[in-house]
Structure 1
Amino acid sequence: MPNYKHNAVQMDEIINKTIKALDSGKKEIIEIAENSRKECSRLQEELATLKMQVAESLNEIENLEHGLKVSKKRLYDVNQNFQRHSQDDLAKAYQSADDLRVKLAVRREQESYLIKRRNDLEIRIRDSMKTLERADNLIGHVGIALEYLSSDLKGVGEQLSNLQQKQFLGLRIIEAQEDERKRVAREIHDGPAQSMSNAVIKAEICEKMMDINMTEAKIELQNLRKVMRDSLQEVRRIIYNLRPMALDDLGLLPTLERYVVSFKETTGINVTFKYRGIDETTKPVIALTVFRIVQEALNNVLKHSNSKTAGVILEKVDDKLNIIIFDNGVGFNPKSIKMTNSDLSGGFGLFSMKERVALLEGELSITSEEKKGTRLNIQIPLINEGEALGK
């Protein structure tokens, strides 16, 4: 990113262009929201029609099943009393039962297709509603940004001589937020959303089986309970990844211990965790930063190091918190990983850790050689929370 010397006039011009761009973006988001709203209405109308078709199909299947029972009884009577019936009566009874059996099979296949279409439509409606909700939220956020830019920020060019650095930080924050939203949306879509869709289908099966086979219905209910329990566990895991509540309830050290144990069980990597002189009253902003750094570092060990062992050491020295994270994996050349604002793609995990440490006015250094493992050394000043947040 090249350096530019921005004076007040240039800054006001940039802000005006930004306002125009945001206003244009707001109009596009409004158009997206309107299209999503129309799509939701169309899908809901289609869903209502499908539900009526499913109900009609169920009624027809019930009638066909009843007719088939009557036809089978007729066929049985003809066979039992064949001396009182002609060969033509017997053929008609067979033909009637066979015709009903074919019609019933066809209608059941049609019912299965209609139910599948209905479930697909319900998923599409939920996705469209989420898109509409996000668009409405974005409209509000852009409106706030427009109001802020139009009033408070005009004429402050001279106070933004470090615009380049702040602009880059803003881009990184937006990118990190969007990546996190995409990850959460993907996890919810691939996990709980799929499980809930499966639960709906199983509930429908149970409803049908109740009048046919109670034993099978109980089995389906047990399967449904397992689906819901797995879905609940998945939701809890997603919530934990967003923010481990144990940090607030138990503190930094117990939370890290639990995370390390879970990481070992999940990955098979033997991680040792040691600490010395750590105060249990570590400020929340520092505790969360340390947890995320350890989490990101161990994820890097899993993804890149091919190591079977790793270690995490926390120690308090004077007024600083030292964090050491190491492994005995394949290692790498630190100079090949770019962690500056000239690159937005390479070494994102390390860059993320460096940003977190920098926000707390700390330092991060990397020691690594190919085939000799990697070691992260981090120092974070134990400043108070107000200072950490820039108050």
Structure 2
Amino acid sequence: MSDSVLDVKRINQILNETIDTIEKNREEIFEITEHARRECKNIEEELEKVKIRVNEVVDEVDNLDLEDRKSRMKLATVSKNFQIYNEEAIRKAYEKANDLRVLLTLKREEERTLIEKRKELEIRYKESLVVLEKAEKINKQVGVAIEYLKGNLDDILLAVDDLSKKQYLGIKIIEAQEEERQRLARDIHDGPAQSMANILVKAELCERLIDSDKDRAKHELVNLKDIAKGNLKSIRKIIYDLRPMSLDDLGLVPTLERYIYNFEKENEIHVNLNTLGDMNNVESVIKIAVFRIMQESLNNIEKHSHAKNVDIRIEKTLTRLNLIVDDDGDGFDISKNPIDRDLHSGGFGLISMKERAELLNGKFKITSSPGMGTKVYLSIPLSEEENVHEGE
């Protein structure tokens, strides 16, 4: 057995021991992250209540201050014209002015206390956000480390031509996967999971009310139905974000049209889609690639370009499927931001689109210049000899 094989086995042994140690502590890290998230949410809710109360007390202080001035003016008038007012009227005017002064002092003290509490909660909330961000970052990094260490080092050593670039790309892919898992966990926790808990509470309430208060039970059942509908809508959105089922059920073009419709509703950007050719027989793997590259292109446009209009053209010929995404945004100097450099500068959007195209033996290109917008070109072969499934 060669020294290189022994080295690989020893490295894999070390990796397995490292993975076991990290995985034992990952659950505790996850609990810390969830605790930080709950603490952040609790402080946010308490801060909102204090803000509402501060506004109420400020209004009360203003009203009491106005009444106090009026009562003091009344007392001054009564005291000045004592020959007109009797002793009882003077006494009442004095007591009212004194009571208002005491109440105003107490309210001002309450206002001061609440404002101090609001400031304290705002500081705590900012600090809790920092803690949560750090906890999520550590949790993600641990997940990335575990997944990356679980990789087959033998295959990496044998298959990677440019080791540093491929390792970095692997880390970026795993980071994207970990971020997607965290996003999915948050979406389920904040949406369907809480809705299901609410459904259980409503169901128990209806069970108790069904014999004693049928009208209220009926009202609660209507609310229960609305919650279930909202929950179903949230679950469908999560599934759609993972992989649009309409790609298989309706096809590529209807799925793109639906995504563009929702994109236009959420952003002040007009998108024009033109298609040429029959897209019904396009392979599933190609449909997914076209959808994801268009999705990533629109995300980049929304985040960076300040574009108002986007033209998307999809053309299917006998041998190729071509996609062009053209926007009228700010554009950028492509010589200063080449795709190959995007990998090591921390970006993953462009390199992920390029990798998708190359996996299908396709071509991917971006043209742009400052003030002239950006064009994304994608061309994927459809002929059997070029198809990725007929590879070597």
Q: TM-score, normalised by structure 1?
A: 0.60
Following TM superposition, by how much is the alpha carbon of 1:236 offset from its aligned partner in structure 2, in angstroms?
0.7
Aligned to 2:287: 287
Q: Are 2:325 and 1:331 aligned?
A: no
Aligned to 1:17: 11
- CA distance in structure 1 between the aligned counterparts of 2:379 and 2:192, rounded to whole angstroms: 39
Superposed, which structure 2 residues align to 1:296-311 within 5 Å? 296-311=296-311
Aligned to 2:221: 221
Following TM superposition, by how much is the alpha carbon of 1:365 offset from its aligned partner in structure 2, in angstroms?
2.0
Q: Which has the higher contact order (CA 8 A, sep 6+)?
A: 1
Aligned partners of 2:327 and 2:374 also within 8 Å: yes
- CA distance in structure 1 between the aligned counterparts of 2:302 and 2:327, rounded to whole angstroms: 10
Unaligned runs of 5+ in 2: 32-142
The residue identity in structure 2 corresponding to 1:203 is A
Name the % identity: 41
The residue identity in structure 2 corresponding to 1:23 is E
Aligned length: 277
Following TM superposition, by how much is the alpha carbon of 1:189 offset from its aligned partner in structure 2, in angstroms?
1.5
Q: Deviations over 1:271-304 (max 9, x none)?
A: 1111113442111111110011111111222222
Aligned partners of 2:195 and 2:227 also within 8 Å: yes
Superposed, which structure 2 residues align to 1:204-215 within 5 Å? 204-210=204-210, 212-215=212-215
Q: Deviations over 1:16-63 (max 9, x none)?
A: 3243122321244246569999xxxxxxxxxxxxxxxxxxxxxxxxxx
Q: Deviations over 1:227-248 (max 9, x none)?
A: 1111101101111111111212
- CA distance in structure 2 between the aligned counterparts of 1:164 and 1:36, rounded to whole angstroms: 30
Aligned partners of 1:285 and 1:385 also within 8 Å: no
The residue identity in structure 1 corresponding to 2:181 is R
- SS in structure 2 at match of 1:258: helix
> Structure 2 vs 1, CA of residues 10 and 338 (structure 1 numbering), >3 Å: closer, same or farther?
farther
Unaligned runs of 5+ in 1: 1-7, 38-137
The residue identity in structure 2 corresponding to 1:29 is E
Aligned partners of 2:321 and 2:380 also within 8 Å: yes
Superposed, which structure 2 residues align to 1:1-391 within 5 Å? 9=3, 13-14=7-8, 16-30=10-24, 153=154, 162-210=162-210, 212-317=212-317, 319-337=319-337, 339-340=339-340, 343=343, 346-384=346-384, 387-389=387-389, 390=391
- CA distance in structure 2 between the aligned counterparts of 1:177 and 1:170, rounded to whole angstroms: 11
> Structure 2 vs 1, CA of residues 224 and 386 (structure 1 numbering), >3 Å: closer, same or farther?
farther
Following TM superposition, by how much is the alpha carbon of 1:383 offset from its aligned partner in structure 2, in angstroms?
4.6
- CA distance in structure 2 between the aligned counterparts of 1:373 and 1:279, rounded to whole angstroms: 28
- SS in structure 2 at match of 1:310: strand
- CA distance in structure 1 between the aligned counterparts of 2:28 and 2:263, rounded to whole angstroms: 45
The residue identity in structure 2 corresponding to 1:301 is I
- SS in structure 1 at match of 2:244: coil
- CA distance in structure 2 between the aligned counterparts of 1:288 and 1:385, rounded to whole angstroms: 20
Aligned to 1:47: none
- CA distance in structure 2 between the aligned counterparts of 1:377 and 1:266, rounded to whole angstroms: 25
- SS in structure 1 at match of 2:329: coil
- CA distance in structure 1 between the aligned counterparts of 2:30 and 2:295, rounded to whole angstroms: 38
Aligned partners of 1:168 and 1:341 also within 8 Å: no
Following TM superposition, by how much is the alpha carbon of 1:208 offset from its aligned partner in structure 2, in angstroms?
4.2
Following TM superposition, by how much is the alpha carbon of 1:314 offset from its aligned partner in structure 2, in angstroms?
0.8
- SS in structure 2 at match of 1:218: helix
Following TM superposition, by how much is the alpha carbon of 1:169 offset from its aligned partner in structure 2, in angstroms?
4.0
Following TM superposition, by how much is the alpha carbon of 1:163 offset from its aligned partner in structure 2, in angstroms?
4.1
Following TM superposition, by how much is the alpha carbon of 1:262 offset from its aligned partner in structure 2, in angstroms?
3.1
Q: TM-score, normalised by structure 2?
A: 0.60
- CA distance in structure 2 between the aligned counterparts of 1:160 and 1:12, rounded to whole angstroms: 20
The residue identity in structure 2 corresponding to 1:294 is M
Aligned to 2:95: none
The residue identity in structure 1 corresponding to 2:19 is G
